[in-house]
């Protein structure tokens, strides 16, 4: 039994090193596979034969077997690409994808859009993410990432924010004349307002200092753009007052009227709120209009309306959110890439095509947004390279080859010894 046992011991070594060669060969074969993680074989000895039974000691080993193939989940190097839909994860987490055979996971972020606007991988598995509502605000609803809105509707202006300074030194004797507003106002600035049909209208806001710390403002539009107006006149559509304290800070704003009835199919009586930064309106979050002894000047004007637009492009942000960019200059968040995190990612089950599934060993995934709950960061125009180090794997191959040769010597030597036993009969 001793000679036969040594044969089987050598055979177990040959089998083990053959399996190791397959693992190292697989690592080398996937040296250019996006998001691939190398694996390593782990061996354990087989049950030993004891010469003294339960007394312990004096045991003879019976060989080796492959006990585990464990992936090495180190971070792959990040390479730059030219495709905006190429995504890489830096840190922990897996992309969540959905296909005909259910949900799966991957580190391969080589994605593109199909004809229906869905973000998919090369095997037509759809990428999952958290959906945004119509206003671009992210929700907790998990669904397929895609751009469904190729056209964005026009939005009428409802608020105009102005950031400026009004000159404290303005002459109080100047009286405003609606027939000649440019010459009779202390200061004027233009802002574009969109009506309900998405048509833009240049509106001029005129300012006049009427008393110490008191300014009157008027929003005027060309007469041929509003109902009842004439081509060569300016029509007042909004009016109000600004009240400043002794330090030049706005303490109150009063709107006396605001009604824009644009022509060319727009809805009548459009109300536009002119926001000059009253502290009472913004809870003390900072001033937009001041009254200092320097030249009147507008720093910034912001309005929330826009015309209709068609899809012009898309981009991924650093937080993994997909933003659609339209021809009118507007951008709307569509979805945010979801990442799955496992308690034991080494226990996930490989199903081919760079895909993995959960198993009993891995546990169930916890799905969330990038950079939350220990999940990694998602970056666009990048891909995670394979973690295979070809030089290391070649050394492993040579070592496995030598071990295979050594185990083959055990088999051939045992065979020679067995031949000698057979020859005893002949002698």
83 and 68, same structural domain? no
57 alpha-carbon distance from chain centroid: 60
* CATH code of 204's domain: 2.60.98.20
d(CA 128, CA 98): 7
- Let me know whether 209 and 245 are in one domain: yes
Residue 54's pLDDT is: 63
Same domain, 410 and 379: no
Q: Are residues 271 and 180 in the same domain?
A: yes
Whether 268 and 364 share a structural domain: no
User: Given 252, 269, 303, which residue is the final one in a domain?
Assistant: 303
Angle subtended at Cα 228 by Cα 225 and Cα 233, rounded to the nearest 5 degrees: 60
Q: What is the pLDDT of residue 281?
A: 44
User: The tokens 């206003």 sit on which residue?
Assistant: 135
Where does a domain end: 303, 329, 348? 303
| pLDDT score of 112 | 94
- Assess whether 180 and 292 both reside in one domain: yes
Same domain? 123 vs 170: no
Report the alpha-carbon distance of residue 347 to residue 74 in Å, rounded. 15
Asked if 252 and 233 sit in the same domain, the reply is: yes
280 and 242 within one domain: yes
What is residue 409's predicted lDDT score, i.e. its pLDDT? Answer: 84
Please give the residue range of the domain that contains residue 408: 2-74+389-426
Query: Within this chain, do residues 282 and 377 fall inside the same structural domain, yes or no?
Result: no
Please give the pLDDT value at position 344.
94
**How many domains does the chain fold into?**
3
Same-domain status, 137 and 182: no
Closest alpha carbon to 198 in 311, 329, 323, 315: 329
pLDDT computed for residue 287 by the predictor: 54
Domain boundary among the residues 303, 337, 369 is at 303
In a shared domain, residues 112 and 190: no
Ranges of residues in the chain whose predicted pLDDT is under 70: 1-2, 5, 48-58, 278-287, 425-427
């Amino acid at each position: 039994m001793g000679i036969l046992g040594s044969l089987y011991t050598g055979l177990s070594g040959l089998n083990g090193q053959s399996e190791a060669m397959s693992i190292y060969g697989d690592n080398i074969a996937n040296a250019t596979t996006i998001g691939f993680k190398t694996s390593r074989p782990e061996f354990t000895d087989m049950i030993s034969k004891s010469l003294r039974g339960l007394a312990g000691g004096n045991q003879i080993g019976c060989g080796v077997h492959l006990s585990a193939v464990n992936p090495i989940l180190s971070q792959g190097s990040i390479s730059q690409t030219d495709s905006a839909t190429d995504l890489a994860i830096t840190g922990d987490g897996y992309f969540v994808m959905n296909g005909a055979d259910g949900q799966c996971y991957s580190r391969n972020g080589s994605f593109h859009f199909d004809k229906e606007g869905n973000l998919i991988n090369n095997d037509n598995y759809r990428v999952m993410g958290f959906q945004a509502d119509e206003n671009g605000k992210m929700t907790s609803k998990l669904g397929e990432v895609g751009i469904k809105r190729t056209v964005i509707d026009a939005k009428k202006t409802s608020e105009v924010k102005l950031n400026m300074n009004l000159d404290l030194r303005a002459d109080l004797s100047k009286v405003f004349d609606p027939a000649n507003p440019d010459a009779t106002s202390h200061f004027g600035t233009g802002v574009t307002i969109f009506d309900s049909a998405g048509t833009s209208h240049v509106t001029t806001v005129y300012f006049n200092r009427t008393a110490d710390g008191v300014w009157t403002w008027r929003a005027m539009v060309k007469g041929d753009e509003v109902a009842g107006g004439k081509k060569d006149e300016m029509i007042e559509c909004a009016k109000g007052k600004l009240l400043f304290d002794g330090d030049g800070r706005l303490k109150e704003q009063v709107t006396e009227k605001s009604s824009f009835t644009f022509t060319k199919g727009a809805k009548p009586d459009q109300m536009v709120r002119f926001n000059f930064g009253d502290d009472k309106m913004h809870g003390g979050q900072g001033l937009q209009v001041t009254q200092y002894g320097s030249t009147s000047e507008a720093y910034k004007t912001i309005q929330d309306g826009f015309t209709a637009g068609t899809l012009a492009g898309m981009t991924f942000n650093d937080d993994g959110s997909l933003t659609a960019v339209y021809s009118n200059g507007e951008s709307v968040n569509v979805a945010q890439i979801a990442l799955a995190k496992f308690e034991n990612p080494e226990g996930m089950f490989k199903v081919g095509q760079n895909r993995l599934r959960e198993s009993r060993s891995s546990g169930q995934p916890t799905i969330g947004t990038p950079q939350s709950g220990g999940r990694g960061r998602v970056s666009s125009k990048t891909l995670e390279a394979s973690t295979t180090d070809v030089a290391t794997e070649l050394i492993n191959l040579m070592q496995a080859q030598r071990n295979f040769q050594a185990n083959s010597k055990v088999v051939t030597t045992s065979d020679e010894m067995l031949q000698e036993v057979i020859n005893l009969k002949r002698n």
